[in-house]
Amino acid sequence: EIVLTQSPATLSLSPGERATLYCRASQSVYSYLAWFQQKPGQSPRLLIYDASNRATGIPARFSGSGSGTDFTLTISSLEPEDFAVYYCQQRYNWPPWTFGQGTKVEMK
Amino acid sequence: EVQLVQSGGVVIQPGGSLRLSCAASGFTFSAYWMHWVRQAPGKGLEWVSRIDSDGGATSYADSVMGRFTISRDNAKSTLYLQMHSLSPDDTAVYYCIRDVTHAFDSWGQGTLVTVSS
């Protein structure tokens, strides 16, 4: 089973600041990595698939990068609605499809 | 518009059984793999099960293997998760998800399953 480790656990930032979230895989997942956003009481929403492709309707301030074992989600300038929990997920080696433990982006 | 509408939440006693359903609309249901993912209160996301487009192949997490069964009725555009021998560890919000070739792109609203006496 591929283990995904996200860091940091919590990121405290202000609106307008840049957010950088990390996801490390226990073995290569090539580019088969996705990022999801989850707000309280809501279902997760797909942001990025295949490491760097924005899903339909996702603003350009969200970008993904990386391959192999190290991946990054960047939010270039935080909007108030971006404060949420973010999860990475791999689809290279399944089952199981695995998720990271999440990074909470909170308002400073 | 893709919609995945799940059945309502329920409280069930330990050892009990329950079937969740997820009604799909807005797309050709029979063309897509589907998954169930769960989230225990205050915790992260855990993949539970997957079924291929015609129901011929399924996969399960070790934590539910032998207790849960995923199925689908393509004529009714509905996904199911039959759960047996439920324990408090199964308490979670269960999400049904559409799998396109590149990602889990559409999620249902979630069904809260509470296992408690």
Q: pLDDT by residue (tens digit) across A15-70? A: 999 999 999 999 999 999 999 999 999 999 999 999 999 999 999 999 999 999 99
Statement: residue B18 has pLDDT above 90: yes
**Within an 8 Å CB–CB cutoff, is residue A29 touching chain B?**
no
pLDDT at residue A11 is higher than 80: yes
Q: What is the CB neighbour count within 10 angstroms for residue A51?
A: 22
Residue B102 reports pLDDT greater than 80: no
For the stretch B49-74, pLDDT in tens is 999 999 999 999 999 999 999 999 99
Say if B47 is an interface residue toward chain A (CB within 8 Å): yes
Residues facing B37 on adjacent strands? B47, B95
Instruction: Decide: A94 and B61 in contact? Cβ < 8 Å.
Output: no
Token digits for A34? Answer: 């996705």
Output the pLDDT for position A38: 98
Distance CA(B117)–CA(B106), nearest Å, equals 33
Q: In the prediction, which pLDDT does A90 show? A: 97
Q: Is the peptide bond before A59 cis (omega within 30 degrees of 0)?
A: no
pLDDT bucket at A81, cuts 50 / 70 / 90: very high
Q: CB count, 10 Å around CB of A68?
A: 14
* Cβ-proximal residues to A82 (8 Å cutoff; 6+ apart), any chain: A19, A37, A61, A75, A105
Chain B residue numbers with beta carbons less than 8 Å from the beta carbon of A55 are: 103, 105
